[in-house]
């Protein structure tokens, strides 16, 4: 029997059922159990933080991402598309920190890559030129923003372009 897709799995769980089982604190982003089970007591924090930083909560032997449950709990509907954590902190599930996003918008709000040696998003060092290059990826195409003497100057060019192209989804760090 094929595995149900995440959307099909989500469709089985209603907002009413989530509200019956859990209490959501929108100011903190925390879920607490309303009921006692074999492993938890009413009032215990629900779920656990996973290796990639997201909180997951198991309901009826299925894992659900807490930020998606928060959206369902508050709005009464499953989110269509992605839920973006505005501040980039994957475990911060306060409702004011969540917004609907497309895959592209969600990617624009990502942090700099861990292998970025110069420490600035959108900037890399060009040894041959002994200078820093700024570039940005817009709609699947890399756009060259210029060559600069310092990483900070290159980063300023990236920040300006990110704000211009990505608006509220621009992330500088």
Are 78 and 8 a contacting pair, CB within 8 Å?
A: no
pLDDT at 7 (0 to 100):
56
Give residue-wise pLDDT tens across range 106-143: 777 677 677 777 778 888 888 898 999 988 888 778 89
In the chain, residues under CATH classification 3.90.75.20 are 6-101
Residues 49-108 have pLDDT tens digits of 999 899 999 999 999 999 999 999 999 999 998 999 998 899 999 999 999 988 877 777
- Please state which of the four CATH numbers 3.40.190.10, 3.30.730.10, 3.10.20.90, 3.40.50.720 is assigned to the domain occupying 112-169: 3.30.730.10
pLDDT above 80: residue 4: no
Confidence band, pLDDT 50/70/90 cuts, at residue 8: low
Q: What is the CATH class of 6-101?
A: alpha beta
pLDDT, position 122: 82
DSSP state, residue 79: P
Write out the E strands in 8-140: 22-25, 30-33, 48-49, 55-59, 62-65, 82-85, 98-101, 123-126, 131-138
Can you give the pLDDT at residue 85?
93
Instruction: In the chain, list all ranges with CATH 3.30.730.10.
Output: 112-169
Global pTM reads 0.72
The two tokens of residue 4 are 């149900």
Q: Output the pLDDT for position 141.
A: 87
């Amino acid at each position: 029997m094929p595995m149900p897709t995440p959307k099909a799995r989500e469709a089985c769980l209603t907002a009413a059922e989530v509200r019956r089982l859990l209490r959501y604190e929108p100011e903190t982003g925390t879920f607490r159990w309303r009921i006692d089970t074999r492993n938890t007591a009413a009032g215990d924090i629900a779920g656990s933080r996973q290796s990639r930083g997201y909180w997951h909560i198991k309901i009826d032997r299925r894992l659900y991402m807490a930020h998606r449950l928060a959206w369902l709990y508050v709005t009464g509907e499953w989110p269509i598309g992605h839920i973006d954590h505005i501040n980039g902190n994957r475990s911060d599930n306060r409702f004011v920190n969540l917004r609907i996003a497309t895959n592209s918008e969600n990617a624009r709000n990502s942090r700099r890559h861990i292998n970025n040696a110069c420490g600035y998003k959108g900037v890399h060092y060009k040894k041959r030129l002994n200078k820093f290059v700024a570039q940005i990826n817009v709609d699947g195409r890399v756009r060259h923003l210029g060559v600069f003497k310092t990483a900070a100057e290159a980063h300023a060019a990236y920040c300006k372009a990110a704000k211009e192209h990505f608006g509220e989804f621009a992330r500088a760090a």
